[in-house]
Chains A and B, each alone.
Chain A
Amino acid sequence: MNLKRAMQFLSIFALMVWGGVFVYFYLTPAEDGTGPLIQKYVNANKNFDLWVLIAGMGLFVLAIFNVITFKQKSGICNHDHSHGDECDHDHDHQDHHDDHSDDDHVHTEACDHGHDHDHDHSDGHDHGEEHNHDHEQTTAGLAFSILILVVPVLVAANYSQGKFSPDYFRKLTQIESKMRAMEIEKNGGIVVQQTTMAEVKAAEEKAAKTADTPPDPSNEATTDVASFTMEDLKKMVPQNDAGSFMLEVPEIYYTAGDQQLMKVLEGVPVEFTAQVMNETVNNEAGNRLRAFRLLVECCAADARPISMSLEFSEKPPEFEEMGWFKMTGKLHYAKENDEWVPMLRVMEFNQTAEQIEMLY
């Protein structure tokens, strides 16, 4: 077996390594029992896990196909008689047919290549019988490609823990805190609280009373007709035994600004589990912490923290920074710096073992 064939085999081997890693990650369950390992890496809700499986199997099929047809003529006529940058011999379009009697190319029928060259094959180029040589893709180059393909993937697959270190979380949340601090700085360092959703609701109820129209009993939360109601919320969001709605931090975060949703959710008891960190901005009274979850769009590398304020009636309890806590409380909205923000007025706050790092 010559060197070229050995390299072709190594290419096939590299494909199998990638295919193997893909299929392994799809089939292996994660240590914490939350599902297959692949779901720690890519967003399964968008079927990225399925693509990984299909590609993994496809790579295997491609590799096996190439093994089976290893000796078959492919008609690949893609040898590039351009010889890379370092090659400066003449590529002339004249008389090219004459040269082919001498060189050791095995030309097949489908070879309709132009052979737009007049290069002398005695200048040290040793062309193998497959004649699909690409002078840029030297053996050393190919060996390097295969090394780059195989080694990092295997090392990463071995050392990756399928989750981020606390330091990485800290870094992500610090970036988020800094971004929020920058926004406040733009306002001259002051948080301007214009109003709260409770006030909006009170004013609307008062207006409704003076207008002498009794509020719709099935729709206490809002005066809009054909809008989102408490009944809708009950239908769509599960409640725990105590009646608290189980909503995740990002879900709550994105309700802020939607008038109808905020009116329904204002003062509603909710429960969620999240990681907790200190509130570094807008916390003069020192009674706030911040809860966050990581939200992933496509893969873990685009994970970003979505967070909201936790307000305690007095100084918050001692807690483990970045630790996981299950909390219940009442949801409130306030308009600060011209934006509606959610916060939880905490009633119960307990550390928990539950750790599902990312939401999709």
Chain B
Amino acid sequence: MPPNELNSFTDFCYLFLSIVLEGAPFIFFGTLVSGIIDAYLPPGLIDKWLPKNKWLAVIMSALLGAIFPVCECAIVPVIRRLIKKGLPISCAITYMLAAPIINPITIISTMNAFNDSAGKSELLSAMTKDSSQALFVTSSRLLIAFIVTVGVGFVVMKIRTSSILRPSLISEKEKSDHEHDHSHDDAGEKPDKLVQAMRTALRDFVETAMYFTIGVAITALFKAYVTDSMIIAFNQSEYIGVNLMMILAFVLSLCSTSDAFIAANFPVPLSAKLAFLVFGPMMDVKLVFMYLSVFKKKFVLSLGIGLFIAIGALCYVWSDYKPEVKKAGAFPGAALIEDSPTIQQG
């Protein structure tokens, strides 16, 4: 064992491992689902489930997370497999981007984070009285995510598959789309679907977790070694705040179920917090690496830039419509939704 010395490297190891331990279980469950989809879901079945109208199908995909809640770590292997099984790419990408936000777990955690009971012990949670602020932040987060992800789905509909997917997925998808079936019976032995599912899960885990590991390592490096100077810039203007909060969300790679607690405590305008909450679960360092297991580099880059601009603009405009809030002091939640003070001073 190394000596019990604490330094930036041990901080890096600690940060790295804590994110891996938090996220990896979800990747594992995601790859299990991916394996099961691979072995048991017949190609073509998805077509039967989805509405025939492709615009409507995209809209439905954005809401699918409410029924099948999946966090952003787990969704990448699942979506990879669903695309191979014939899910239209526009629907797949919309589901992938929306599900981490439009799902009951994230909704509850966002409500909690922006509620006046945030972080309180049992004693204090019992005293919760007003949740209108939390309601506004949560519903704004959902609505902006919905608009953006459906928009991305519509745009993707117009793009050629070959310029989105990695080549290996294209051929699998074509295979599924064509559904022409020829069997080879030279093996003689009946294959076991469970074996197929587990073998796929193994392969998917190795690949997804590899990209995840690289992303987490970069995030941990940033947290352990980079100084706090960028924080100073956050408060200069709403415009800068929105952009910097999205950059911060990108670098921090937080889970969508916990990011609201971080956002709630940043001394930035509401628009910047919303941008952080919508952009982060769709695009961050670890996700970029995970997306690369499904999509082409150029597409991931365009998606990142597109989301950055669309979410930034929407959040900037959105916060102008925030409801009137009671003056701070009535309850702490008010402080969280107001444009300026969020951190208490002593």
Contact = CB atoms under 8 A, between A and B. Distances in A.
A257 B116 contact: yes
Nearest to B166: A136
B122 to A, nearest CB: 7
Interface stretch (A167-175, A268-276, A345-353): A167-175
Contact of B341 (A41, A52, A174, A183): A183
Contact of A339 (B2, B25, B117, B341): B341
A341 B124 contact: no
30 contacts: A11-B202, A14-B206, A18-B24, A51-B25, A58-B29, A73-B191, A75-B191, A109-B185, A110-B183, A114-B178, A135-B168, A136-B166, A142-B206, A152-B217, A159-B10, A160-B16, A166-B6, A168-B224, A171-B227, A179-B231, A186-B340, A236-B123, A250-B119, A253-B119, A258-B124, A258-B331, A298-B257, A339-B335, A340-B329, A342-B346
Nearest to B2: A159
Contact of B219 (A38, A97, A157, A301): A301
Describe B's contact surface by its main secondary structure. helix
Nearest to A283: B346
Interface residues of B, number: 117
A175 B180 contact: no
A309 to B, nearest CB: 3
A65 to B, nearest CB: 5
Interface stretch (B169-177, B301-309, B313-321): B169-177
Contact of A302 (B167, B235, B254, B340): B254
A132 to B, nearest CB: 7
Contact of A176 (B170, B199, B343): B343
B21 A25 contact: yes
Contacts of A279: 346
A92 B240 CA distance: 51
Interface string A276-288: 0001011000001
A251 B192 contact: no
Nearest to A178: B231
A81 B170 CA distance: 10
Contact of A299 (B18, B29, B129, B181): B18
> Which 4 A/B pairs are nearest by Cβ-Cβ distance?
A107-B184, A75-B191, A309-B346, A257-B332
B207 interface: yes
A180 B21 contact: no
B108 to A, nearest CB: 11
Describe A's contact surface by its main secondary structure. mixed
Contacts of A152: 16, 213, 217
Interface of A: 11-12, 14-15, 18, 22, 25, 38, 41-42, 48, 51-52, 54-55, 58-59, 62-63, 65-66, 69, 72-76, 78, 80-85, 87, 91, 93, 97, 100, 105-117, 132, 134-137, 142, 144-146, 148-149, 152-153, 155-168, 171, 174-176, 178-180, 182-184, 186, 191, 228, 233, 236-237, 248, 250-251, 253-261, 279, 281-282, 288, 290, 295, 297-302, 304, 306-309, 335-343
Interface in B316-346: 327-335, 340-346
A111 B198 contact: no
A187 B179 CA distance: 67
B346 A343 contact: yes
Contacts of A178: 228, 231-232
Given A18-B24, A301-B19, A69 B124 contact: no
Interface of B: 1-2, 4, 6-22, 24-26, 28-29, 32, 38-39, 84, 116-124, 126-127, 129, 166-172, 174-176, 178-187, 189-193, 195-196, 198-203, 205-207, 209-210, 213-214, 217, 219-220, 223-224, 227-228, 231-232, 234-235, 254-255, 257-258, 261-262, 265-267, 327-335, 340-346
A136 B168 contact: yes
A52 B25 contact: yes
B19 to A, nearest CB: 5
B213 A338 contact: no
B220 A164 contact: no
Given A38-B21, A41-B21, A148-B210, A191 B345 contact: yes
Contacts of A336: 345-346
Contact of B346 (A62, A97, A145, A341): A341
